[in-house]
Amino acid sequence: MESPKIPSNSSHELPLRPLEQHNDPVTEQLNTGTSSEHQTSKTIEMTQPRSEVNGSQREPESILVDMVESKKKKKKTSRSKIKRGKNKPTGFEEYYVDAPITPQEYAEGREIYDVSRPIIHRMEDAILRFQKKRRIENDRREIFLKYLQYGGVDISPKMFTGTDQRDLKEMDSEEILLARAQTSIAQEQLNLHIDFNAVVKGYLTSYFPYYFNPETEDMVKLGTVTIWNFLTYILYHDVVPEYKANIEEARKSCDIAGKELWKNQQFTVKGPGDFNTACSTLFGGVFFDLYIEDNQWCNSKNDTVRMTNEIARKVVKFALAGAGFDRQAVRFQELANQNALRAMRVEDIDGFEVTAIIFADDETKEFYMSHAPDLHPVGRMLAKAYRDPGKPNIDLSPEERLQWEEGGAPEYEFDFFLEESLLKLCYPGMKVITSVWELNCGFHYFDEVFTAYCSIYTVLANDLMIGWKKPKDLRTEDDCEADETDDEEGKDSKEK
């Protein structure tokens, strides 16, 4: 059949769609197949144009076409710090207090912390509930767990006691708390002497500075505030009423350590001061012959002023003239003219303990401002000899040791010159571990500072027991039976 011919001068014209509205079904299908996964398909119905040819009219046909619509991307909204939990209260804030106890909670607490229960069981429950009520971060948790371990609490992981989510769903809150517990107290600890204050002083003054080495004041407060908060929780819930006075003393020890620990750290770093460095440079010590006068090498990254022998002489002379006694200055001048100044190290001591602090008066400050404005005015610090109980005993003969035990150990008193910036960091009772030297003109100076201890410095053997495990019996059954047989034979022979 031949297709009908359309005359050129026909008055009937084919209706045409605009180009931008024409959609080819094949092209639409290809575009749909290659579209990204972020686009959605929408099916619409499309009608072909009607053509009137030779008086005939076709009915419109429906064609399915997929229209592709781009899917809008959701904007990522950043959650606030509060929603992320960063600024939520931890329970260790300065003015934080526990909420009032309801009658039901009080009744439960009286049942849990009943005095008739053993103290180790009451303390176990208190530790679990304290960790539940506080948001303890990683650094704080490490300090707290070490404190518990120092006090005799077992913090080692429990083996073969894990629970899955299905088991937890079937438990109540009390059972879940016990299942997730990481601390326990052995029954053998019940026979030990209990002293909350001694443990706090021993941990904060001897173990905490050595193990954690706090370099900032915030790090010091992190340790003291954590323990103080735990002791307050014990008092608030009346866990161990028989030790209430002892816990109050322990809280005071936390306050004292919080003030003194940071001063100790600063004094260790900034000591021994200009005067003591000058004496060590001139007369003997760790700085003696350390500086070379003709050294031409210069370190561009180190802008500190080196203590030359000339500067050291100036520092010592002005300290004696401004803050020293007349007899010391006169004796120093006589020995210096004779070139007979000598220094001897004080033996059989580990350092000194501060007894009094005397700051520079206005007359001394005016003297420095008038004659040596480039130097720091010095004051005086009175101290006595100190022997560290945490170090090995001094090597003595049996006769000397007996004499020392009876109170015959030599006692020394020292009078040091020290700059005002360092005197502000000192306090009565402060222990400084260093070497002390005595000059033959009548005054003392100390050398490099190794460490400084608080006024409540306490040494316990608790840290030696951290990680200790009871030794296992490695003998076989035959060896045990043989030992038992030998013991029985020995008993029989004695009876005969």
pLDDT band at 367 (very low <50, low <70, confident <90, very high): very high
Q: Residues with Cβ < 8 Å from 440, sequence gap 6 or more? A: 335, 340, 341, 342, 343, 344
Q: What is the pLDDT at residue 9?
A: 47
Residue at 269: amino acid letter:
V
Tens-place pLDDT, residues 407-421: 778 889 999 999 999
Q: What is the pLDDT at residue 8?
A: 47
Beta bridge partners of 385: 352
Of all residues in the chain, the percent with pLDDT exceeding 90 is 35
Instruction: Tell me what the mean pLDDT of segment 373-397 comes to.
Output: 90
Characterize 394-413 residue by residue with b for buried, 16 or more Cβ atoms within 10 angstroms of its Cβ, and e for exposed.
Answer: eeeeeeeeeebeeeebeeee
The dihedrals phi and psi of 424, each to the nearest 5 degrees, come to: -65, -20
Instruction: Tell me what the mean pLDDT of segment 64-70 comes to.
Output: 55
Which of 1-10, 303-312, 451-460 is most confident? 451-460
Instruction: Tell me what the mean pLDDT of segment 445-449 comes to.
Output: 93
**Strand arrangement, sheet containing 378-386:** 413-419, 378-386, 351-358, 431-433, 451-453
Would you state the structure tokens that stand for residue 156, as one six-digit string?
Answer: 């080692």
Q: What is the pLDDT at residue 326?
A: 85
Mean model confidence pLDDT for the chain = 79
pLDDT band at 381 (very low <50, low <70, confident <90, very high): very high
* 375 vs 80, higher pLDDT: 375
Contact of 385 with 346, CB cutoff 8 Å: yes
* 278 vs 30, higher pLDDT: 278
pLDDT band at 81 (very low <50, low <70, confident <90, very high): low
Tens-place pLDDT, residues 116-164: 999 988 998 889 888 888 877 888 889 999 999 999 888 776 655 556 5
- The DSSP 8-state label assigned to residue 279 in this structure reads H
Tens-place pLDDT, residues 282-298: 998 888 876 656 555 56
* 218 vs 92, higher pLDDT: 218
Tens-place pLDDT, residues 12-63: 444 444 444 445 554 454 444 444 444 444 555 555 555 444 444 555 555 5
CA-based nearest residue to 155, from 178, 181, 175: 181
Q: Please tell me the least confidently modeled range out of 15-29, 69-83, 295-309.
A: 15-29
Q: What is the pLDDT at residue 190?
A: 78
pLDDT band at 473 (very low <50, low <70, confident <90, very high): confident
Q: Please tell me the least confidently modeled range out of 109-118, 177-186, 375-384.
A: 177-186
* 302 vs 199, higher pLDDT: 199
Rounded to a whole number of angstroms, the distance between the first and last alpha carbons of the chain is 140
Would you state the structure tokens that stand for residue 170, as one six-digit string?
Answer: 């079937």
pLDDT band at 305 (very low <50, low <70, confident <90, very high): low
Residue 496: pLDDT above 80?
Answer: no
Kindly list the distances between the CA atom of residue 229 and the CA atoms of 94, 194, 257, 346, 434, in Å, as whole numbers in the listed order: 10, 19, 14, 43, 35
CA 260 to chain centre: 16
CA distance 232 to 252: 11
Neighbours of 385 (CB within 10 A): 18
pLDDT band at 453 (very low <50, low <70, confident <90, very high): very high
